Structure 1
Amino acid sequence: MRFNTSTILSIFLAVFVITGCNDSANKTSSANVDLETKQDSISFVLGFQNGDFLAAEGATDFNYDAYIAGFMNGMEGNESIDEMTRNSLINDFRIQLTEAIKTKNLEEGQAFLAENKTKEGVVETESGLQYKVVEEGTGKSPKAEDTVEVHYEGTLIDGTKFDSSYDRGEPIEFPLNRVIPGWTEGVQLMKEGATYMFYIPSDLAYGENPRPGGVIKPNHTLIFKVELISVK
């Protein structure tokens, strides 16, 4: 179960820390509590889900005392900070979080590609696209305006799979000039029957604006296994 950022912040972040976010005295490595009743467990799980979501999004720098105080004030209807200020702080938080995610993903992707291009069989093109031949083909190569039929699997650099025609059990067809630049360039290097690995930097993928709510986040480097079945 996952909550979206807006819901979580609206429910739980009645007070966001303006100062003192780096106060290590307010942090512990973990928190233990006796879960004697079902309601105890529900309360714990709601807190866990909130913390797990925010940690996954890169938001780990909190003053826990202020956080809990904000939660209690919200539950009791004590509007200690007015709505306009709350909305402003939450908006600032979202901006900070987004920028942190962009920077983190960009740096991790650059480090991955720098190491990856030193591996045997990996070729880097002038654009920064990297590829590796898994199996060469013998048919024709497509042009950008051609429609191609492919099987593919896409993962993040940490191995998280976000899409696969193999899992759906059928290939996909599309005009080659209607997809991300890394695909348009890379698939033109292939011949029918070939299978390549593509390592696509974020500026040749979805950049800072991937589809909202998806696994792919801003500045993610992507990895694709692509099998070119036919050129139409």
Structure 2
Amino acid sequence: MKFMFAFVFCMTLLTVFGAVAQDHTGGKSPAVLESDLDKMSYVIGLQFGSSMREVGMEVSLSALSAAIEDALKDREPALSEEEMTAAQGKLREVVTAKREEMMKKQQEENAAAGAKNTAAAEAFLKENGAREGVKTTASGLQYEVITEGDGPNPKASDTVTVNYKGSLIDGTVFDSSYERGEPATFQVGQLIPGWVEALPMMKVGSKWKLYIHPDLGYGDRDMGKITPGSLLVFEMELLEIKGAANGGANQTITIN
């Protein structure tokens, strides 16, 4: 188990080390690294130290260095079992407090971004709704019919096959079945509210453009490229109805 933990830790370094390649405020390192062993050891320490800095964890470099040396040389620890247990308990308290602090900060940042993006979304929808050909439903969903199909309409319980491209107000594409080269299959009733409302209004063969208020999209959730409060724009083709789904977990649009 201990070997596996050490192995996984080393493999993690190989996959996430690129995260430390950024601008630095502390000047150039004075370290002299000559051998491959020096460089590999430095990589381990650099990644560990970067992780501690990113979460705001304060450490004693001398104590940390001594602990690493003691462990590598299989020395008896400088702390008794009771002291070790007490220190581990204190560490858990500090880590928990840091995690809560970071979560609170992230929530505050998301709320601020959400308010700003939602205001921009509502201004866009107000102007967009006045354009010829744009229809607005009671929920605030806006859509344009690009091509009207003549097939049946799906129900919320149906599974459908669609081609779509999702983008933000600024044109940034966050997902596209066209780019992946194959359509996507979803259960209608388990998608975002904007899709759940739009799809049953579409006939097979239709192509629509949707303008989705954040309340009908991902709301204040941070979805990577889709920041909190973002308005979503979808070009969507309804290709096929595959019939009623057999249940399953909620489905979301893949965000690349």
> Do Structure 1 and Structure 2 share a fold, with TM-score over 0.5?
yes
| CA deviation map 1:140-168 (0-9, x unaligned) | 11111111110000001111100000001
Match of 1:46 in 2: 23
Match of 1:192 in 2: 204
Cα deviation, residue 113, structure 1: 0.7
User: d(CA) in 1 for partners of 2:159 and 2:189?
Assistant: 9
Higher deviation after alignment, 220-229 or 89-98: 89-98
Residues 1:101 and 2:78 aligned together: no
Alignment of 1:149-164 (within 5 A): 149-164=161-176
Aligned pair partner of 1:218 in 195, 217, 228: 228
**Mapped contact 2:111–2:228 kept (Cα < 8 A):** no
| CA deviation map 1:182-206 (0-9, x unaligned) | 0011011111111000001011111
Letter in 2 for 1:151: N
Match of 1:177 in 2: 189
Match of 1:228 in 2: 238
Letter in 1 for 2:232: L
**Mapped contact 2:111–2:220 kept (Cα < 8 A):** no
Match of 2:16 in 1: none
Identity, % of aligned positions: 44
User: d(CA) in 2 for partners of 1:113 and 1:194?
Assistant: 23
User: d(CA) in 2 for partners of 1:172 and 1:196?
Assistant: 16
Residues 1:132 and 2:144 aligned together: yes
Match of 2:135 in 1: 123
Match of 2:177 in 1: 165
| CA deviation map 1:98-133 (0-9, x unaligned) | 221111111111111111101110000001100000
More helix by share: 2
SS in 2 for 1:182: helix
In our comparison, the structure showing a higher alpha carbon Rg is 2
Distance 1:113 1:93, change over 3 A: same
Please list every run of at least 4 consecutive aligned residues from structure 1 whose deviation after the TM superposition is greater than 3 angstroms.
86-96
The number of residue pairs the alignment matches comes to 162
Structure 2 unmatched runs, 5+: 1-19, 26-57, 62-93, 243-256
User: d(CA) in 1 for partners of 2:195 and 2:103?
Assistant: 35
Structure 1 unmatched runs, 5+: 1-10, 12-41, 49-73, 78-83
| CA deviation map 1:59-109 (0-9, x unaligned) | xxxxxxxxxxxxxxx9xx8xxxxxx7x958766644432221111111111
Cα deviation, residue 229, structure 1: 0.5
RMSD: 3.1
Residues 1:112 and 2:124 aligned together: yes
Distance 1:228 1:97, change over 3 A: same
SS in 2 for 1:46: coil
**Mapped contact 2:193–2:217 kept (Cα < 8 A):** yes
Distance 1:152 1:89, change over 3 A: closer
User: d(CA) in 1 for partners of 2:196 and 2:111?
Assistant: 28
Letter in 2 for 1:215: K
**Mapped contact 2:143–2:211 kept (Cα < 8 A):** yes
SS in 2 for 1:159: coil
Match of 1:141 in 2: 153
- Give the TM-score of the pair, scaled to structure 1: 0.61
Letter in 2 for 1:225: E
Distance 1:192 1:217, change over 3 A: same
Distance 1:47 1:114, change over 3 A: farther
